[in-house]
Amino acid sequence: MGTIKPTYIKKLAKQLLRDVQEFTDDFDVNKKIVEERTNIESKGVRNRIAGYITHKKKSESK
């Protein structure tokens, strides 16, 4: 089991999922999209958002 994500991670990820249709179930692709579409400077926060988006996309495809 993983850790629970903070609400600011979930809010940003859900907003990006609504606005951007390019996300896939590949973490590295999502990481680059998050980096291009946001002004987040923290690598850790960017990776957490991309990871949450990847998790959501994988659960959608099941």
pLDDT > 70? residue 1: no
Cβ–Cβ < 8 Å for 54, 26: yes
pTM, two decimal places: 0.92
| Model confidence pLDDT, tens digit, residues 22-48 | 999 999 999 999 999 999 999 999 999
Domain limits, the chain = 7-61
Q: Quote the CATH superfamily of domain 7-61.
A: Ribosomal protein S17 (1.10.60.20)
Dist. CA 12–CA 10, nearest whole Å: 6
